[in-house]
Each structure stands twice: as structure tokens, then as C-alpha cells.
Amino acid sequence: MTDTITLTGLVATPPRHLVTGEGLPITSFRLASTQRRFDRSQNRWVDGETNWYTITGFRQLAINITGSLQKGERVVVTGRLRIRDWAAGEKAGTTIEVDADAIGHDLSWGTSTFVRSISAAIIDPAASSEATTAEPSDEATAAEPSDEATAAPSEVSPEVLADSVAAESVAVPF
């Protein structure tokens, strides 16, 4: 049985990214989640205990974590919970891990700007087959840069798309 959990907290360590020998991208970080409660006797908010989780993302999520999250940012994480006991010599403990399905900034604490991943847009199965087989028009290849950012993927020439990916400045409509 798989338990799904949603957590909020602080990214406590810089995300660590690696790619396995088989080409699988993996990114992990520690999440510190502290419950706050209002203490009526002191008439103020107080921190409870902090729970620590190891968050791991795979594939495109791993790549997006690396480009989006930094230590100290507040996030919301949802994923599959795994609890493991461990022992190393005389020390023993319990590790709580979450295989993340989705991660985002916690907008209760600030704002965020979304930029769709180019690779996710290109391999999006919802895209029509015309978008992948259409020839770019002369107008699309001669478009102004502001037009490129809002053009549909089928209207952007391969050269413009390659330049945009390199500059990481293209916004793909969804």
C-alpha cells in the first residue's frame, strides 16, 4: 500500500542533482516542516517540533527542481511516503522519505513565476499531430522576438526554438 502525503516547509539543503549511469535524472533535498500554533497564554504564535524529510524527484521533475528551488524557499510537496529504519554501528534511527509527484513554491509566503519546460511542451501528448508535422512558415522565421515568445510550437522554426532553448527565455503557451 502506498501512502500519499502533502507537506509544506522550508528547503533546508541545496538540491543535489545527479544523473545515473542509465541516464535517469534524480534530485533530492531535505525539507524542514515546523508546525506553528497560537499559544493563548502567551498571546503569540510559537513553533512546535520540526519534522525532517528527504524529498526526491525523478526525471523531468528532478530537472525542474534543480532549476527552480533554492535553500531557504518555502514549498509544498506531494508524493509517496516511505518510512525506513536504519542502523549504522551503535547508531539507529528512522528516515522519512517522500518520492515527489509534484513540488511548488508555497504562495502563502511569496510570489512565483511559472515558465513551462520546453522539453515537456515538445513531448506533450496533448499536442496535435499537426504541431509536430507542420512546416514553419516564412512569417514565423522572420518574426520579432516578442512574437516568438507567444507563438504556438508549430509556428516557431527549429532554429528559433533552438536559440530560445539555449537562452531559456521562450514561453510556451499551454
Helices and strands per DSSP (H, E), number in the chain: 6, 6
pLDDT tens-digit map of 2-26: 688 999 999 999 999 999 999 999 9
pLDDT bucket at 72, cuts 50 / 70 / 90: very high
Rounded to two decimals, what is the model's pTM? 0.62
Q: What are the structural domains of the chain? A: 3-111 (2.40.50.140), 119-167 (no CATH)
Q: Which residues contact 120 (CB under 8 A, 6 or more apart)?
A: 60
Question: pLDDT tens digits for 109-159?
Answer: 888 888 887 765 555 555 544 444 444 444 444 444 444 443 333 344 444
**pLDDT at residue 57 tops 80:** yes
Signed CA dihedral, 108, 118, 21, 18: sign only: negative
